[in-house]
Structure 1
Amino acid sequence: MNWNEQIKLWNRATVRILDIRHHVICDGQDLCNYKLPANVFLFVSSGNAFVRIDEHKCYVKQHHLVHTGKGSEMDIMPARNAFSYYLIYFKVSNPDVTVSPFAKQSANQLLEPLHLFYHVVPQEPGVLYNHIRGLYEEWGKCDELSKIRTKSLFYEFIYELFNLLQNSTDKGRPSKLITNALNYIHKNYKEVITMEQLADLLGCSVSYMHRLFKAEIGKSPNDYIMGIRLEQASQLLLTSQLSVGEIALSTGYPDMYYFSRLFKKHFGVSPLHFRERRIDHQGLHLNPSKSSLFSIVPTSSLSYNEGTKEIENLSQSEGEIQLFITNRTKPTLTSLLLVCLSIFISGCQADSGKASSENERNNLVTAVSSEGKGTSETKTYKHIDGETEIPLEPKRVFTDVKVGQLMALGVEPVGSSSYPLQTGFIAENDIEDVGIFPLNLEKVASLEPDLIILTEAWRDGGGYEAFSKIAPTIVIPNHSDSLTDELHMFGDILGKEEESERWLAEFQKKVDVAKEKVKAVISEEETFTILNVRPENFFIYDDVNMGGNIIYKYLGLTPQEKVQADVLNGEVWEVSAEVIPEYIGDHLLLANNKGAEETFKENKKLWANTAAFQNDTVYEIDFDQFLLNDPISVLHQLDIITELILENNR
């Protein structure tokens, strides 16, 4: 794409904004054959999806931007969980209205390149996100003055977009070669990755691969791998109880001391100091206005006290007590007196025992946290959109889609969106259904929640500020690759740490029993595939949901070779009916969508000679029941798949 030519044409054109929308769709809620009424910018705010625009197919992720012209047909198929995106509809035309109709038509034809398709990955997505969010909010005001402001913001957005594209090193989307390299690195960063091994995989020389990485990513392959490993290490330091040595080993560094030196060089502090400072990794790499530590843009040093004063620590050998003092609040005189009193008592009663001292400090923290509130105890919780005072033990929790995570810990939310209540295995009980996206704020407020937990995708349907006026609100990632990590996070939020550990321990016992049963009838050499048939599409699923997490992660069954290479290690998801036999292994989990019966019947003959169909090892599963991967759903899914395999292989 010639960006300079695009810039010239934008300077000649006039623009009329027709609409600005924000949507959230979940896996299974495909948008098909949508004929666009105008030119469109599509910006992904969170999630992944396969997007098809006419003959163009692309896999889009958070912060990707797609442009296409009026009349294009668009399909959007969410890849995992919720997919959140903005659509800006606009019309471009030549401003000269004094010429004849024929001349005017010719003049508008000069603007045809402004209708072209392109898919780009901006290097500074936070800039574009802020502009698009501002556009959406201003457009929603509907008054005439706001429309003028919207036009101004749109031109600012166009300026920032082409400024980034013109000055970026990669000129948009990375090449296929580099995309393959990045996919491999992200899947195998825990293992030893040599440059020769990576070059062999890509089918090029080491020197050419280095030049390509530098040109498109702005970093060497080694620097990129190190960035990913250290990013993962920083997350483990903040979200797990693993030792530094264990974290080093799990992120590809068998030498703990070498790991510590690299970590300090990258972050400016040692791993232990990093953990003690309690920096919120989500606020740094998930906030759209801040770049990821392992993004393709070189990152600057982290600022550990940005927006807050230094955290004061009162620590003992086995744990620490923290007094969080932000630049928005000041300690009261009572709080300071309590601190002094605690120190005095500790000094006078040094021989009263460690347990007594710890109790006094815990009581002190509770007093300071509750000071000025007088009703409930609170704690400061850092999340994607900042930090929020939330109840230590919330009683009335509202969540958009994370119902199963709450109920696994014994917390029944007062309300949620329709999606988790109508999909999977959640029994509604007394949970209020507040509808689909965007959430009805008045209905949410009527539930009188004391805590609101939102995912990134659903947060934008109303905006963080609107939700936080109802109750303390925290924003979490749409999806976690690890059920363990996610449940630990919810245990921390809800004050249910013991419950999360107990649930995970029981679940692991259940998994171990199921594995033993399956192992007795399935050999290690036998392979598995998951096929989803929809009315117009076919999909091969990975190890996230639709039973993939059950068979590949928990039961440890072997994916078919091409599934492993193209789907788990690549970005293949949608396939044509003709190539499906290449992906079908010895066993097949089959999920037919409602309305796809005829499609399956018409194409089944193409797959009749595969091992799974020949040996009658095809297991039909309910698409809706296997969409979610929350703890409640996973328990049921494990039982269903285990029973299907055992029944068919006795």
Structure 2
Amino acid sequence: MRSPPLLALALATSFGLTACGVDPASTTAADAGAVAAPAAETGAFPATIEHKFGSTEVTSAPKRVVTVGLTEQDALLALGVVPVGVTRWFGEAEGAIFPWATDALAAAGGELPEVLDSTNGIEVEKVAALDPDLIIAINSGMTEQEYALLSKVAPTVASADEVDYTSSWQDITELVGTAVGKPAEAEQLIDDVEGQLEAAAAEHPEFEDAQAAVVTPYEGLFVYGEEDSRGQMLDELGFEFPGALVDPETDAFGWSLSAERTSDLADLDAVVWLDYEAADAGMKKLFESTPAHRQGRWFDISDANGGAYYVAQSMVTPLSIPYVLERYVPQLAAAVDGDPKTEVQVVKD
């Protein structure tokens, strides 16, 4: 069975770092020419950033930033900083820069970054070869061992949250802004995007307190929790997370319930499936017997249909959110309108 989108964040990656450290002096830096550091805000440096592994001090505006997490490159680009290296987690896009971020890349006048791979964990030696002066690893699931290795290469910013992959897009943007000397600009960016979410919620009062969840087939029924970015977006649009799906035994970003629990989706006002076609026949039969299915209170976002939208729905960033809202809000509105005849439009882009 296929793993759910970005479940690799916590389940499908196996960090296999060698026990030895990385000597930056023994690596060859990527020759990307002179990189001018974007102007920092007055008084932004030195900046001390607290995170789960301690604290990191950044003394001046970085010129060569490498990201090893899923979403941090978007926050950088939104702030006018072009990373020299990014990490591909899933999806296909040149330079791992997706459609919602290409305008920001062009506006910053930067070249496409070198792309690292996340399949076997953080590629520490390749990170070092890019000669970074800042490494951002907030949304990466980085281990303490990896942090120790990367910190020998350059100042490294980890997640401020103890549980991996639960940092909100706001917190990620704020940490990135502090690290590159643009904390006020980051706050303004957050305010602007939150305004778009608030406007969408205001235009759809029917979302208020309606119950909705994002789920996918993985080891039964996998539920993205309230602390996951997908669950957070539903919350910001006014939806309520269904208590029936809560797993009190975990504080992770999501959890698997038995396939039989698919019937717990029966009374939700909106069920957002990621890759419904990956469900087995038994799970589909259970779901298709529920009022939620019969009354059209659901829709599927799949890689086959959605393309970039499928990726964007999981990569929740200040750049992807406007892109998602344009597509997601009409789908949610059609799902919760109470009319079984209303078809939810399939997004294909």
TM-score (norm 1): 0.38
Distance 1:443 1:559 in 2: 41
Distance 1:631 1:645 in 2: 20
Give how far 1:542 is off. Answer: 1.6
Find 1:616's aligned residue among 285, 296, 304. Answer: 296
Q: Could you list the runs of 5+ residues in structure 2 that have no partner in the other structure? A: 23-40, 103-110, 303-309, 343-349
Find 1:632's aligned residue among 309, 319, 322. Answer: 319
* Higher helix proportion (structure 1 or 2): 1
> C-alpha deviations, 1:180-235, integer Å up to 9, x for none?
xxxxxxxxxxxxxxxxxxxxxxxxxxxxxxxxxxxxxxxxxxxxxxxxxxxxxxxx
| Letter paired with 1:587 | A
| Letter paired with 1:605 | K
Distance 1:414 1:515 in 2: 37
Cα 1:610–1:494 shift into 2, 3 Å? same
| Letter paired with 2:299 | Y
> C-alpha deviations, 1:601-631, integer Å up to 9, x for none?
4432222232211111212124544333333
| Letter paired with 1:458 | M
Distance 1:386 1:416 in 2: 24
SS of 2:158's equivalent in the other structure is strand
Distance 2:131 2:224 in 1: 39
Find 1:397's aligned residue among 45, 59, 65. Answer: 65
Give how far 1:424 is off. Answer: 9.2
8 Å Cα contact 1:530/1:540 also seen in 2: yes
5 Å-filtered alignment, 1:92-241, equals 137=19
Distance 2:320 2:88 in 1: 16
5 Å-filtered alignment, 1:297-316, equals none
**Percent of pairs with identical residues:** 23
Distance 1:582 1:427 in 2: 37
Q: Does 1:381 align with 2:20?
A: no
Give how far 1:532 is off. Answer: 0.6
Cα 1:26–1:457 shift into 2, 3 Å? farther
Cα 1:547–1:483 shift into 2, 3 Å? closer
> C-alpha deviations, 1:454-489, integer Å up to 9, x for none?
34743657553x434443334344445443333222
Cα 1:397–1:612 shift into 2, 3 Å? same
| Letter paired with 2:74 | G
Q: Does 1:495 align with 2:165?
A: no
Q: Does 1:504 align with 2:190?
A: yes
Distance 1:615 1:406 in 2: 42
Q: Does 1:646 align with 2:333?
A: yes
> C-alpha deviations, 1:512-565, integer Å up to 9, x for none?
21112222xx2656432322124x5321222234732221x21111333413xx
Q: Does 1:414 align with 2:84?
A: yes
Which residue in 2 is equivalent to 1:242? none
Aligned-CA RMSD value: 3.9
| Letter paired with 1:615 | Q
5 Å-filtered alignment, 1:340-359, equals none
Cα 1:473–1:581 shift into 2, 3 Å? closer
Higher-Rg structure is 1
8 Å Cα contact 1:421/1:427 also seen in 2: no
Find 2:215's aligned residue among 531, 536, 542. Answer: 531
| Letter paired with 1:578 | E
Cα 1:539–1:491 shift into 2, 3 Å? same
Find 1:586's aligned residue among 263, 269, 293. Answer: 269
Which residue in 2 is equivalent to 1:483? 169
| Letter paired with 2:83 | P
> C-alpha deviations, 1:101-130, integer Å up to 9, x for none?
xxxxxxxxxxxxxxxxxxxxxxxxxxxxxx
* Higher strand proportion (structure 1 or 2): 1
Q: Which has the higher contact order (CA 8 A, sep 6+)?
A: 2
Distance 1:469 1:574 in 2: 37
Distance 1:386 1:460 in 2: 10
> C-alpha deviations, 1:58-101, integer Å up to 9, x for none?
xxxxxxxxxxxxxxxxxxx46xxxx7768xxxxxxxxxxxxxxx
Give how far 1:444 is off. Answer: 2.7
8 Å Cα contact 1:424/1:625 also seen in 2: no
8 Å Cα contact 1:397/1:449 also seen in 2: yes
| Letter paired with 1:415 | G
Distance 1:387 1:547 in 2: 28
Which residue in 2 is equivalent to 1:554? 236
Which residue in 2 is equivalent to 1:443? 126
Q: Could you list the runs of 5+ residues in structure 1 that have no partner in the other structure? A: 1-24, 30-46, 50-76, 87-132, 141-361, 367-376
Which residue in 2 is equivalent to 1:540? 223
Distance 1:545 1:602 in 2: 27
Cα 1:617–1:579 shift into 2, 3 Å? same
Distance 1:557 1:424 in 2: 30
| Letter paired with 1:607 | F
Q: Does 1:28 align with 2:7?
A: yes
Cα 1:380–1:578 shift into 2, 3 Å? closer
8 Å Cα contact 1:524/1:558 also seen in 2: yes
Cα 1:570–1:530 shift into 2, 3 Å? farther
8 Å Cα contact 2:49/2:56 also seen in 1: yes
What is the number of equivalent residue pairs in this alignment?
A: 285
Give how far 1:592 is off. Answer: 1.2
Cα 1:558–1:393 shift into 2, 3 Å? same
8 Å Cα contact 2:170/2:190 also seen in 1: yes
> C-alpha deviations, 1:419-473, integer Å up to 9, x for none?
2775894657612102234444443344332222234743657553x43444333
Cα 1:538–1:624 shift into 2, 3 Å? farther
TM-score (norm 2): 0.66
Which residue in 1 is equivalent to 2:142? 458
